[in-house]
Amino acid sequence: MSASQWTSSKAMRGVAVQQSVAVAMPRARRCAIVASAAVATKTLKIGTRGSPLALAQAYLTRDLLKKAFPELNEEGALEIIIIKTTGDKILNQPLSDIGGKGLFTKEIDDALLDGRIDIAVHSMKDVPTYLPAGTILPCNLPREDVRDVFISAKYKSMDELPEGAVVGSASLRRQAQILAKYPTLQVVNFRGNVQTRLRKLEEGECDATLLALAGLKRLDMADKATAILSTEEMLPAVAQGAIGIACREGDDRSAAALAALNHEETRLAVVCERAFLAALDGSCRTPIAGWARNEDGQLAFNGLVSTPDGKKVYQTTRLGALSEDAAREIGKDAGEQLKEEAQKDGTVFDW
């Protein structure tokens, strides 16, 4: 991409407006605005949630853009915009009780569509299977470790937890898989960002919790893990460990930038997993897990759906070609199979 794609007379007009507005503002605010508009390059605005993990992912995106496009190292070329979502505002209820889908993305999507931001950085596991009209998600960054971790100050593993021990987790997927293997344990809703949940654990609100290893790694907190759970012990959430970046449909400038960052192997795995989720049409009250990956040049997939109490668990595996059409078909077929099996078995899910 050439520097000319990042500059225009429109961009220059935008700088002039920002500078004239700054004159009437307090000095600290004026300096910040003038600094962000100090060059002719039109600022590329990156939208994100404000949690430490979300910001770490936005900073990663910013740094990768700077590495790919030297002109973006210019002062004011990139700006991170923090957007508070519904999921960030309501912390005292289970996600399933306040709507589930889109809780961490809707306000960011709105900002993208009305032009307040140019690209939106998401944890892919938060993104609904449908995208708002007018947006595309053409980019996935290289995936982090998909596994979950066990964290406890009292016990070294899930196997050590005594009968009646309390495990805190807001994830129905984790709750169901825990109860399927350890039915004598108690699971309780346990919301908040990584730091909040670790603080609650230290304060004794529960005996143990489970978190995504990917998030801990991105926060340089992997040492907080007591034990790493294998994917056989705890199948990950659909798109766990994957970062997705969206832009407006027709925004060639942003799409070109994201094309340079896309990691195709991760994108294909996410396509497969999200096709599985879409085929199940699972609600936020349905425990679903799915993991696709490249195994010796082929796409391998494991999928799971369970009742919330873990008493009925349905699983499947697939192996196919590492292509977009195959990935989508593998996920769709696996989801339809498990849905049919559950229905034949008389299991009632909150689809």
Q: Which residues are catalytic?
A: 126
The type of residue at 203 is E
Element (H, E) at 318: strand 313-321
Instruction: Describe the crossing of helices 52-68 and 252-261 by its angle, rounded to 10 degrees.
Output: 90
How far apart CA 157 and CA 146 sit, in angstroms, is 19
Q: Which candidate, 274, 307, 268, 308, places its Cα nearest to that of 290?
A: 274
- Residue 14 and residue 41 in contact, taking contact as beta carbons nearer than 8 Å: no
- Residue 47 and residue 119 in contact, taking contact as beta carbons nearer than 8 Å: yes
How far apart CA 233 and CA 348 sit, in angstroms, is 25
- Residue 33 and residue 25 in contact, taking contact as beta carbons nearer than 8 Å: yes
How far apart CA 110 and CA 121 sit, in angstroms, is 13
Q: Which candidate, 115, 87, 81, places its Cα nearest to that of 101?
A: 87
- Residue 331 and residue 273 in contact, taking contact as beta carbons nearer than 8 Å: yes
For the four alpha carbons of 342, 180, 96 and 248, in that order, the dihedral sign comes to: negative
